[in-house]
Amino acid sequence: MAKITFITTDNKTINLEGTSGSVMQLAVDNGVPGIDGDCGGVCSCATCHVHVAPEHVGKTGEASEIEEDMLDLNDYSNERSRLCCQLEISDALNGLVLQVAESD
Amino acid sequence: MKKSALPDPFEEARVNKGYGEMDDQNDPVTMILGLKDLRKCAHNWKTFQSGAEPGRIVIPSEVNIRDTRQIPFEVDPPEHKDFRALVEPWFKRPLEADYKAALTQQINDIVDEVLTKDSVEVVGEFSLRLQSRALTLLLNIPYEESETWISWGTHVFRSEGEALDGDKANILYDYIDERISKAIENPGSDLYSMLLAATVNGKKLTREEVKGVMILTFAGGRDTVINAVTNSIAYFAEHPESLDKLLGDPDITGKAVEELIRYFSPLTQMGRVATEDTQVCEYAIKEDTRISLCWASANRDAKVFENPNDVVLDRKINPHVAFGFSHHNCLGATHARQIMNILLTTLAKKVKSIDIIDYKENIEELGEFKRKVGYDNLTVKFHTR
Ligand code: HEM
Ligand code: HEM
Ligand code: FES
């Protein structure tokens, strides 16, 4: 079980709990604005872009090269960017805070 | 070679030099073939623009057959963003429960119907009808209207044997003009009326702009969806085990949709016009010449995809560009994905196997390359599960 907090682009806080699946799916199932998950989580659409809170970067680990390449060409990405379809929910993510990234 | 296979004609050029060349009506095109290069060029709209002379970024070029600017397709940022913001909520409607239910009903009905027949010509009797009926949902207009679009046949822009046909394109343009006039007289809850009532940057859309959006919706969503659906039928005919797999493990359906679309890449390429002298893969691109973003080649790039020429139904990481990349990514993707998702679910439930009886491949001639993009016709027999 992991508690995960999303902060939307208009600064609303949404607290969710999940046990399995991807963080993107959790967000989509609960209608978190700004997380669309268009490609269903295969790392093709970047509509699941989040910024990991600085103190939690250790929890999520690093993006793969393929994910990194997608983020490189995103106008709103920074060094704490992740595509949250690539984050598997597990106890290790408990307490994670994610800021939903802006998009066009 | 399996009948359903779509070979990759670009591999050698992609690996050896990264680009290809083709002429098109004396306006040559440098085709960008690798995934990373393509993404960079697609993202760099300042150097590689879409907002060139109307028709020029389409290959084969349409500068001689139209003047209407397609919106948002032939508009660059920042205006592009405002047009997208206007139409995007509308094009997300396929996610709504009612829309999904109506589309499921349509696809159920047509699959039930073809299951009763001895033979079915898939392109005309299945894919075109399915695509046209589904489009009534996207436009939010009566189902009966699809009869008109079906009667145009598959080649609404061309006559047999001719690449581009201005007269035929006029059928569509005249039709849309007439529908816009009707919507002005009698506004409803359809896409025409929504656009006619809309403002972008405080200005009402002009009639010409509304026409641009509507033509694009018809043009962009027609052959692409028809090819995706037809190629899926050919694939399942030769891979009945995939139908069983989808039935047994429906959770992979979303991944299967992405993988089939990657493999089929129904839109081979789209052009851009260089606004300055520049370089791609150390190759000089001159100002006011064309490049193309070759989605079909990038989607087979072995630097990114393992076994790129295999359909791996549950491919987990699949950063394909079949729906484009960056600002202009496909506006109709939500609709197209929903069609494919429901189609796969329905086929898996109802169909045991499919026999291919006869077929003729549709091969695009692209300069040094020949690419199979689908079928001119595909005759099959469906067997009930
Ligand atoms: C499997 C089906 C489809 C595929 C593979 C596909 C592919 C693409 C691609 C690659 C682009 C990018 C073009 C560029 O960068 O210049 C695009 C754009 C577009 N597509 Fe699709 N498409 C499909 C279905 C549809 C449908 C069903 C519609 C609408 C009914 C549609 C409407 C559009 C529009 C309006 C654009 C332009 C978006 C913009 O410029 O902002 N497409 N499509
Ligand atoms: C106003 C805009 C457009 C017009 C007038 C137009 C016109 C045409 C014409 C004339 C053809 C036939 C070409 C030939 O036979 O060689 C064609 C084919 C095609 N178009 Fe477009 N097009 C438009 C926009 C788009 C867009 C936005 C997309 C996708 C995003 C698209 C995807 C395709 C595809 C996939 C084919 C079929 C290739 C094949 O099966 O041979 N078109 N279009
Ligand atoms: S959901 Fe598409 S990249 Fe994450």
pLDDT in tens, B177-203: 999 999 999 999 999 999 999 998 889
The dihedrals phi and psi of A16, each to the nearest 5 degrees, come to -130, 160
pLDDT at residue B167, as a whole number = 64
Instruction: Collect all residues with Cβ–Cβ distance below 8 Å to A63 and sequence separation of at least 6.
Output: A71, A81, A82, A83, A86
Nearest-atom index, ligand 2, CA of B212: 1
CATH architecture of the domain covering A2-100 = Roll (3.10)
Sheet of B369-384, strand order = B120-121, B369-384, B351-366
Residue B282 forms part of a structural domain: yes
Please give the Cα distance from B233 to B344 (Å, whole number): 10
Q: How many Cβ atoms sit within 10 Å of the Cβ of residue B93?
A: 17
Instruction: Collect all residues with Cβ–Cβ distance below 8 Å to B229 and sequence separation of at least 6.
Output: B122, B126, B127, B130, B131, B339, B340, B343
Q: What is the mean pLDDT of chain B?
A: 94
Q: Tell me if A40 and B255 make a contact (CB, 8 A cut-off).
A: yes
A65 touches chain B (CB under 8 A): no
Give me the CATH number covering residue B293.
Answer: 1.10.630.10
CA-closest candidate to residue A79, choices A102, A44, A53 = A53
A43 touches chain B (CB under 8 A): yes
Predicted model pTM? 0.94
Percent pLDDT > 70 in chain B is 96
CA-closest candidate to residue B35, choices B306, B311, B373, B299 = B299
Note the helical H segments in chain B: 11-16, 35-43, 79-91, 97-115, 128-139, 145-151, 166-185, 191-197, 207-220, 223-238, 240-248, 253-264, 295-298, 333-350
pLDDT at residue B173, as a whole number = 85
Mutate to test the interface with B, among A36, A47, A76, A104 (most CBs of B within 10 A): A104
- Mean pLDDT lowest among B36-40, B73-77, B171-175, B187-191: B171-175
Residue B156 forms part of a structural domain: no
State the pLDDT confidence band at A98, using cuts at 50, 70 and 90: very high
Sign of CA dihedral B56, B58, B61, B62: negative
Q: Where are the domains of chain A?
A: 2-100
Q: For residue B256, which residues of chain A lie inside 8 Å, CB to CB?
A: none
For residue B160, is pLDDT > 50? no
For residue B36, is pLDDT > 50? yes
Distance B220 CA to ligand 2 centre (A): 7
Count of positions (residues) in chain A: 104
3-class SS of residue B292: strand
Q: Which residues pair with B203 in a beta bridge?
A: B200
Q: Do residues A93 and A59 make contact, with C-beta atoms less than 8 angstroms apart?
A: yes
Ligand closest to B337 (CA) is: 1
Please give the Cα distance from B359 to B371 (Å, whole number): 16
Query: How many structural domains are present in chain B?
Result: 1
pLDDT at residue B64, as a whole number = 87
pLDDT tens figures, B238-282: 999 999 999 999 999 999 999 999 999 999 999 999 999 999 988
A88 touches chain B (CB under 8 A): no
Residues with CB under 6 A from ligand 2: B 58, 60, 62, 70, 73, 157-158, 163-164, 169, 215-216, 219-220, 223-224, 227, 266-267, 362, 364, 373-374
Average pLDDT over residues B211-225: 92
Please give the Cα distance from A42 to A16 (Å, whole number): 22
For residue B4, is pLDDT > 80? yes
Q: Tell me if B318 and A42 make a contact (CB, 8 A cut-off).
A: yes
Average pLDDT over residues B123-143: 98
A40 touches chain B (CB under 8 A): yes
Instruction: Collect all residues with Cβ–Cβ distance below 8 Å to A84 and sequence separation of at least 6.
Output: A22, A23, A24, A27, A35, A48, A49, A50, A98
Range of the domain at B42: 11-143+223-384
Residue B84 forms part of a structural domain: yes
The dihedrals phi and psi of B26, each to the nearest 5 degrees, come to 60, 20
Q: Tell me if B81 and A104 make a contact (CB, 8 A cut-off).
A: yes
Residue B175 forms part of a structural domain: no
For residue B137, is pLDDT > 70? yes
